[in-house]
Amino acid sequence: MNDLAGKHIVLGLSGGIACYKAAELCRALVKEGATVQVVMTEAAEQFITPVTMQALSGRPVYGSQWDSREPNNMPHINLSRQADAIVIAPCSADFMAKLLHGRADELLSLMCLARPVDKVPLLLAPALNREMWAHPATQRNMAQLAADGAHVLGVGSGFQACGETGDGRMLEPEQLTQDIVAFFQPKLLAGKRVLVTAGPTFEAIDPVRGITNLSSGKMGFAIARAAREAGAEVTLVAGPVSLPTPRGVVRIDVRSAQDMFDATQPQALLADIFIATAAVADWRVANPSAKKMKKDGSGKVPELAFTENPDILAAVASSSRARAGELFCVGFAAESHDLASNAQAKRIRKGVPLLVGNIGPATFGADDNALLLVDEHGSQEVPRAAKLELARLLVAEIANRL
């Protein structure tokens, strides 16, 4: 997927050791389909060369407001008018102070001041020492920049080049890329709270064995990311998977179906939308062994008694909030055959307005999927595509139904 295809990004570098991350960010933006025009301050050139950034962006780098390559000698006007967004990464404390006061003594700050504020958004990726980050002046500056319309992307925490550890380091290139992609997504769920369950559950037989399934959680994690991109506040209840948490999503890790039920119920009281993508075990071992079950050489197989797990989706869908229309519930059905009929039967049985069906063996662990949207009017096929693309389509479908 080229999420930034057709977008022209001006990538500004102010002075700071985090300039080394800007090289990878530039590369990532280009891979996402954007064209990238790099503009550097004199201080930035002390940390990374224009040659490096030109090689990665495929475009000449600008650094002087007197650049004679521009026929009208106004690069601060021309470059800003061409941009879909200006991203300053790294954005130093000094540069934030410049922006706040409207100082424009070199090309990058001049360009930010000259941009049409209603057409060219300004995204800032701060990069500061932990004490500089915590200083009241920095916090005041950031608050005022946000009030003036700039989008501050936040900072990371960890080891810093100065040898100290704490908040203030620039976000990683992958994180910034996700934030920039999210910025351009339509905010169809702005102000909504979305609850998503994802992944398999694990039902213990003994301390080292258990019953699970092949769900990777990728579809649910993609939906959580897409909902967050759409402006929602997202909580993700995840079974035992090793996927990274989508940017800006609150994650609650669980193990068993009962764990997932217990985590989901209180969160559903706060949500506007519930999307149950998790492949929850229907049954669990009634009396799991406290010790590892061992073979005794007799060839006799242990007998396991099972009991039914709580039905998470049905419980949420039958709640007073869901019945009153305050909570929109979406279920998922992973089937092995007769998808349309099984999905419709499950939708009716669970009591949800929308159920999404797929063939489990054809999608578990894969990066793509094909969906069947099932409601009271029938079904609609969604052709196979990347799971994130399908997640965005599903979010748009839910927004339309709301």
* Sign, CA torsion 97/102/105/108: positive
Grouping H, G, I as helix, E, B as strand and the rest as coil, residue 280 is coil
**Cα 183 from Cα 264, distance rounded (Å):** 28
Nearest to 369 by CA among 389, 340, 392, 398: 389
Angle at 357 between CA 356 and CA 358, to 5 degrees: 130
CA atoms lying within 13 Å on the CB side of residue 68: 0
DSSP H helices in 230-307: 257-268
Angle at 18 between CA 230 and CA 228, to 5 degrees: 10
Grouping H, G, I as helix, E, B as strand and the rest as coil, residue 364 is coil
* Sign, CA torsion 150/156/160/166: positive
Catalytic (active site) residue 112: no
User: 210-211 and 203-204 as β-strands: parallel, antiparallel, unpaired?
Assistant: antiparallel
| Cβ atoms of 321 and 268 closer than 8 Å | yes
**Cα 41 from Cα 12, distance rounded (Å):** 8
| Cβ atoms of 183 and 229 closer than 8 Å | no
Residue with structure tokens 């769920």?
189
Query: Which helix H or strand E contains 198, and what residues bound it?
Result: strand 193-198
| Catalytic one of 19, 112, 162, 329 | 162
Q: What is the largest CA-CA distance in the chain?
A: 91
| Cβ atoms of 207 and 290 closer than 8 Å | yes
Angle at 53 between CA 49 and CA 56, to 5 degrees: 140
Show which residues are catalytic: 162
